[in-house]
Structure formats: C-alpha cells, structure tokens
Amino acid sequence: MNEPRPPPLIAAALPRGTRRTREGLRGPNGVFARSAGDPRSLFGEMLDWVLAPLLFLWPMSLALTWIVAQNIAHQPYDAELARLVQALAAHASAGREPLIRRAGRAEVAAEIERTALTLVHGDDESQRWFQFLGRRGEFLAGDAALTVPTGEPVSAGTVYFRDDVLHDEPVRVAYLWLATSNDDRDNDALVQVAETLVQRERLAIDIIKGVLLPQFLILPLAVMLVWLALSRGFRPLEELQQRIRRRQSTDLSPIPERDVPEEVAPLVRSINDLLQRLDKSMAIQRQFLADAAHQLKTPLAGLRTQAELAAREIDGGRGDPKSMKHSLRQIAVSSQRAAHMVNQLLSMARADADSTTLRPQWVDLGAIARAVVRDFVPRAMERRIDLGYEGPEDETGGARPARLMAEPVLLGELVRNLVDNALQYTPPGGTVTARVVIDTADDAVVLEVEDTGPGIAPSERDLVFQPFYRALGTLVDGSGLGLAIVQEVAVRHGATVGIEDARPREGETADTPGARFTVRLPRGAPPVQ
C-alpha cells in the first residue's frame, strides 16, 4: 500500500530534513508525529491543535474577504450610478416647465433620448440602460424592460439601489422619484439607470487578489514557524531521551533535573522515585538470591558429604549396613531440607507473581484450614503434638462457611506456612491450634494459629517476616521463608498480620508464652495485586 502523504499545504511547510518513517513523520531533531492508529504523539497533537484553528479560520477569512470586497467594489460604481440618475433628473426638471410636464410625448422622448445618450453611455466591458416614466406611469424613454420598484416607502429626490436582472444579465439599478405634485406622490415621475456587474466583479477580484495572495505566502511560513517552534520546544525532551538511552542497564541513579523544563520536572521526579524503588527492589532480590544460594548450599553440601563418605566406605571395604543406613538417612534428611526450601522459594515466587496471573474467587477459609490441618496430622503425631482446628458453627453444630474473596492457592500457602512454622517451634507434647473466626462487625474473616512454643520476643516480631531470618537462640532447622511468604500473601489480599503471646486456656498453665499469629482478611477484599 502507498504510504499516506501529508496535505500539500503542510508538506510545503515541513522543515528541510523531515522524512517519513514507519512511525510517521520524523523531523530533523528526531521528534516525529505518528500515523493514525499508532500511539499518541504529543508533538503531533500539539501541532494539530495549533494548525487546526489556523486552517479552519482561513476559509472563513476567504469568505469574509469576498463579502467585504463586494461591498467595497459596489461603493464607487454606486456613486457613479447615483450621479448619473441625479444628472438625468436635474436635466428633466430644468427650465421653467419640466420635461415631464410638457404635453407632447414625442418631443419629451426625443429630448430625453438626446440627454441620456450624452450622459449614460457604456464601454467595452459594461453596459448601461436607462428608463424614464411619466407622472402617470407612462413610458417616456429608455428601456421598457426595466421593472418598476414597488412595495417600499420612498422619498422624492433620494437615490435608491437594488439588484435586478435585465436581458438575462444581473444588473445594479439606481432609481429616483421626481416629485410633480406636492400632495400626490402617486403622480411622481421615475428615473432609473441600470449597469451590468462586470466591472464590479473585476474590482472585487482584484481586491481579493491583493488581500489573499500575501496570505498564501504567509500561511505556509506560519506553519513552518509553528513546526520549528514546537521542534525547539521539544528539544529538551529529545536531549532527556538521549541521556536516558545512553545509560547502562544497571545504572538506576536519579536523572539530573537541572536541564529539565519546568513542565517536565514532575515527570522526571516521578521517574526518579520509580528508579529509587526499583533499585531498592532489585537490591532486595539480589540479597534474596544470595541468601537462597547460601541456604541451599548447606543441604546440598550435606548430600555431597554423605555420598562421598558412603563411597569411601564401600571402596575401603568397610561399608557395613549400619553405617550405610546412617549415611542414607542423612542423605534423605538433606534432600528433604533442600526440597522443602525449593518448595518455599517457589511459593515465595508465586506470591510475588504479577497480579494478572492470579484469579481471586470466593473461597471458604474454614475448608482450606481444615484441609491443611488434615495434611499435617501425620507429622504432628510423629512429634507428639496435639494439632487441632476450631471454626465457626451453624445452628445445627455443623461447620459454617467462612467465605471471602481471595486467591485459593496463595491463601492455602499462607495457612500451610503458619501451621508448619507452629509445628517446627512447638516442642513434643505441645499444642497447635488453627482457628477461623468470622468478624461480622468489621466484615472480615480472622485466621489464628497459636502454639505452645517459646514465643517471639516483641523486639523480633517485625524481623521474623524478613526472608531467611530466624530468631536467635533456637535450634529449629528451617529456611526462614515461611513467615515471609505469609506476609507477602497477606499484603496481596489487603490483610494484616499480627503476633502476640498465646494466652493459656482456662485451667491451664504455660511455662512458655507461646505465639499467636492473627491474620485479618477482608471478606470483600480487592482483587489480588
């Protein structure tokens, strides 16, 4: 397909060096106006808003100029017609007895014809006609085809003008009534002179040419000046673009604002704020990757060490079933740790995923919590921990749904990591309880997971949500990612996570404070972000 071209008027005004590209019109400074259907061009839009009124008003200027030229062209020729009519009327009224009162019509007509031929004569370009009517409306001389004006108030001795058609040609008519009676205006005589419009139209065209020809030269010049002015105004943006393009991909330092126009400064500040947050996020990711690599190194090193020990035992002929069983058990433990950490890293990545990949829906938090508790029952029994679930009940004693808008996979990870964390830190013989409560006052669903472990000191309650952080003084083997995943999922659901000491039940005493994690989730939470 042929590429669309700019209008001739605008094309003639484009600066030298402007060329067409696939994106549209590109100027010598690199700024271009895109074609229709492409992303909006600020340069092109501003150019449209500046040129559109100019190009819209220009035809209106042509029309107004034509009307004014017509009026100006009529004035000298109307004055000439008025002089001729007045001269003929004066001659007809001259002497002691006006011509129009003499009795002989033939004599009157001959006298008028001689006078009119002397005063009213045309030229090679225009024609003139005259007409005399007597006081009774009788035709005396001239062209009988001229119509008699009717239906309008007149004053004797005043010259009037009208446009008419005579012999199939448009004419301009000047006429004057001659008073022959002081009390009977119906007996007034009429003098008319008509003239073709050729010379008037030629004068009007000459006036329009004199006025419009400079406009044809000025308009393209104005378009070019507007283009150059906008190009110069956009030059700081082009320089800013080049500075950003020359940056290395790892350079997230703020963009200098000293050479930035005042109107663009808020945008640059916003970009700098974004760069700062991006730099912080990337630093966190780099630290996360470094910590993840360090954490994975330990179980992988244990796997390698146990495998090498088992191989040396076999090569040395000292491999007995007991030592081999011990090495295999250590290999299994190390591989389990590595698999657990990989699963938690995947959960962390899933919690950090783009919101477009997540689909919130109505879910029952009580059903999710019961399923998670059921999955952890074998592990709790192995460690001799009393693991239980408490949830809302209906009038019949059955489970009451605790429904809310959430992403079910992420919500399951949140509950799973809270229960897993409680089981890790609860000693044998302890108790772990997952509890779901419906808060009708705040229109929220509350998840509580409490244990009878060592608890968390108030000074560390904000730190435990950081990736790979583990409380000091504990010998629990873990990755330090569980609570970080809980915090990330809660933030994405608009929820809050709180930590406090677990209160012992009525009739019970506790040697350790234990910990209670409380997650308050809005029932009509906004879509997962």
Q: What is the pLDDT of residues 314-352, one digit of tens each?
A: 777 666 777 777 777 777 776 776 776 677 666 666 666
| Same domain as 397, residue 515 | yes
Torsion sign across C-alpha atoms 275, 280, 285, 286: positive
Location of structure tokens 């035809």: 59
pTM for the model stands at 0.46
Distance (Å, whole) CA 131 – CA 192: 5
Q: How many CA atoms lie less than 13 Å away from 343 in the CB half-sphere?
A: 12
| Same domain as 194, residue 283 | no
Q: Is 160 in contact with 154 (CB distance < 8 Å)?
A: yes
Instruction: Give the per-residue pLDDT at 124.
Output: 62
Residue 358 lies in a domain: yes
CA 430 to chain centre: 59
Show Cβ contacts of residue 509 under 8 Å, excluding neighbours closer than 6 positions: none
| Same domain as 358, residue 346 | no
Residue 116 lies in a domain: yes
Q: Is 519 in contact with 462 (CB distance < 8 Å)?
A: no
Per DSSP, the residues of 77-140 read HHHHHHHHHHHHHHHHT-SSS-GGG-S-HHHHHHHHHHHHHHH----SS--EEEEEE-TTS-EE
Which of 284, 318, 350 terminates a domain? The answer is 350
Residue 280 burial (CB count, 10 A): 11
| Same domain as 341, residue 451 | no
3 state SS of 379 = helix
Phi-psi region of 250 (alpha: psi -120 to 50; beta: other; left: phi over 0): alpha
| Same domain as 317, residue 287 | yes
- The closest alpha carbon to 263, from 247, 242, 246, 240, belongs to 240
Residue 61 lies in a domain: no
| Same domain as 399, residue 450 | yes
| Same domain as 371, residue 440 | yes
| Same domain as 421, residue 303 | no
Residue 23 lies in a domain: no
Residue 482 lies in a domain: yes
The domain that contains 118 carries what CATH number?
A: 3.30.450.20
- The closest alpha carbon to 231, from 61, 43, 81, belongs to 43
Q: How many CA atoms lie less than 13 Å away from 412 in the CB half-sphere?
A: 15
Bridge partners of residue 390, in order along the sequence: 435
- The closest alpha carbon to 483, from 416, 528, 434, belongs to 416
Instruction: Give the per-residue pLDDT at 51.
Output: 76
| Same domain as 497, residue 394 | yes
Distance (Å, whole) CA 432 – CA 316: 48
- Tally the domains of the chain: 3
What residue ranges of the chain have pLDDT lower than 70?
1-40, 92-112, 114-125, 135, 151-153, 179-188, 284, 287-288, 290-292, 294-299, 302, 317-319, 334, 337, 340-341, 344-358, 470-479, 503-512, 525-529
Q: Is 44 in contact with 24 (CB distance < 8 Å)?
A: yes
Per DSSP, the residues of 158-193 read -EEEEEEEETTEEEEEEEEEEP--SS-GGG-EEEEE
Location of structure tokens 């933030």: 491
Distance (Å, whole) CA 301 – CA 295: 10
The domain that contains 279 carries what CATH number?
A: 1.10.287.130
Distance (Å, whole) CA 358 – CA 338: 27
Which of 151, 172, 198 terminates a domain? The answer is 198
Q: Is 107 in contact with 99 (CB distance < 8 Å)?
A: no
3 state SS of 27 = coil
Q: Give me the domain span that covers residue 270.
A: 265-350
Distance (Å, whole) CA 342 – CA 412: 17
Residue 16 lies in a domain: no
| Same domain as 385, residue 305 | no
- The closest alpha carbon to 220, from 9, 376, 500, 365, belongs to 9
Residue 34 lies in a domain: no
The domain that contains 378 carries what CATH number?
A: 3.30.565.10
Virtual torsion, Cα 197, 202, 204, 206, nearest 10 deg: -170
Which of 179, 198, 217 terminates a domain? The answer is 198
Beta-strand runs (E) in 88-142: 128-133, 139-142
| Same domain as 110, residue 192 | yes
Residue 76 lies in a domain: no
Torsion sign across C-alpha atoms 496, 501, 507, 508: positive
| Same domain as 380, residue 332 | no
pLDDT digits (tens, 9 = 90+) for 379-423: 899 899 999 999 888 777 778 888 999 888 889 889 988 998 899
- The closest alpha carbon to 126, from 68, 166, 83, 85, belongs to 166
Distance (Å, whole) CA 231 – CA 429: 78
Distance (Å, whole) CA 70 – CA 84: 21
Residue 459 DSSP class:
G
